[in-house]
Chain A
């Protein structure tokens, strides 16, 4: 039972998860959302950033890339497994 729930949890990490895109990141990807692959190596915010940079090298030209998990700026070592909502935050420019 324990083993079973562990597997479920691992699988859940990225399955069906979509990253919301805004501003220039939306233009680079060409859509409003980015579906994550079912890849158990995507555990933390840093893993996610590396994956995005690998998929879309132009993101590397931006001044910064932030990740928001459940509407809060997230640290690189933060796990993303339990996230309900993830967004990529390119450099902000409100005001």
Chain B
């Protein structure tokens, strides 16, 4: 089977995340991704998957593929990215988050949480406080992501706030994360030097873009047969000649 190289920015927010710019709308995101030469974008809003379908529809059959996801906040305030290929998996993840996330958003303090369609029209406002922490431990989050067939990536481990290393000091024993993400703040070498433990895990880099101009600021390339989370997983594990290029 022929392997193709895909350029991917796996961690983008949309206008649904309270801290993201309101211009982070589906069509605008897809256009920017295309302009930056990305083949794949991962949509990972805080604790919500509810704008993924609109971004997917905005892509249509175009050259950019969408991997649906969510950035879940654990009770220890650790952010974990969950990436899925199946709609049903996203739905299961969302149900789990909904019963474990409490509080109502105050847009004045935290920002608006816009639900959109694929034409960049606002179709509603999310009332849940997406910026909050769920009552799920990191272990429960990773275990459930895998149960639903997804990939679990520890967000921006080189950052102090909301990262697995910052909040918990170490990668907990037996936590089966599929990769560690390094942010735009540090190079991979710097991060490996300051957090030697992450060398035990595959590394990805993504932009964590909250503004259009940040999309694709850093990215990875991986080889596989199709632009999906399953092929990304194989590349992370170096299966059958597949690889991730940083």
Query: Are A and B subunits of one complex?
Result: no
Using a CB–CB cutoff of 8 Å, the interface residues on chain A facing chain B are: none
